[in-house]
Amino acid sequence: MFRHPAFLVALVLMAVVAGCGGSSTASKSDYAASVVNARDRVDFALAQITQSKTKDEFLDQMVASSELIDDAANDFENASSAKGFDDESKKLAKAMHQLAVDLNATAEQIRLPGYEGLLDAKGLNFDSWTAINATLADLNEQGIKVSPLGRH
C-alpha cells in the first residue's frame, strides 16, 4: 500500500502540516514576555552608547546599537501577538525600526563636516524613542507590565 515514495512523502508532509496547526495568537503572558524582551533589548542597546569613551567610539556604537535595535524589532515583529494587541504590536515594531534608522542616520550625519556640533547638545532626542515609550505606556494601561525605556 505505501510502496510509492511520493505517496509516503506526501503522507509525512500532511502529518507535519496537521501537527503545526497551532494558532498565530500568543497567550497574554507570552505576549507580555515578548514585549518586555524587546524593550529590554532596545534599552540595553541604548545603554551601550553611553559607555563610549571617544567620539568615534560613540558614533560606531550608535551604528552598532541601531543594528541591535533593528534585530529586536524584527524578532518582535515575527513573534505572535496576543488577541487584541495587533495595533500596539505594529506601532511598537514600527517605532523600534524608526529608532534604529534615527540612530544610524544621526551617527552618519555627525560624521559629516559641519555637523560635529550636534554632539555639543546636552542630549539627543528622538521622536521614535518617545513613540516607543508611548506605546509601552498604552500596553501598561492594558495590563502588559513593562517599564518605559530609560534615559541614557
For residue 11, tell me if it sits in a domain.
Answer: no
Q: Which domain holds residue 89?
A: 27-141
The per-residue pLDDT for range 16-50, each reduced to its tens digit, is 333 333 346 889 999 999 999 999 999 999 999 99
**Domain membership flag for residue 147:** no
Q: What is the pLDDT of residues 125-140, one digit of tens each?
A: 899 999 999 999 999 9
How many domains, in total, are found in the chain?
Answer: 1
65: in domain: yes
Name the least confident of 26-30, 114-118, 147-151.
114-118
Please indicate, yes or no, if residue 16 is contained in any of the structural domains. Answer: no
Q: What is the pLDDT of residues 72-104, one digit of tens each?
A: 999 999 999 999 999 999 999 999 999 999 999
The DSSP bridge partners found for residue 141 are: none
Which residues touch 41 (CB under 8 Å, ≥6 apart)? 68, 69, 71, 72, 75
d(CA 49, CA 63): 9
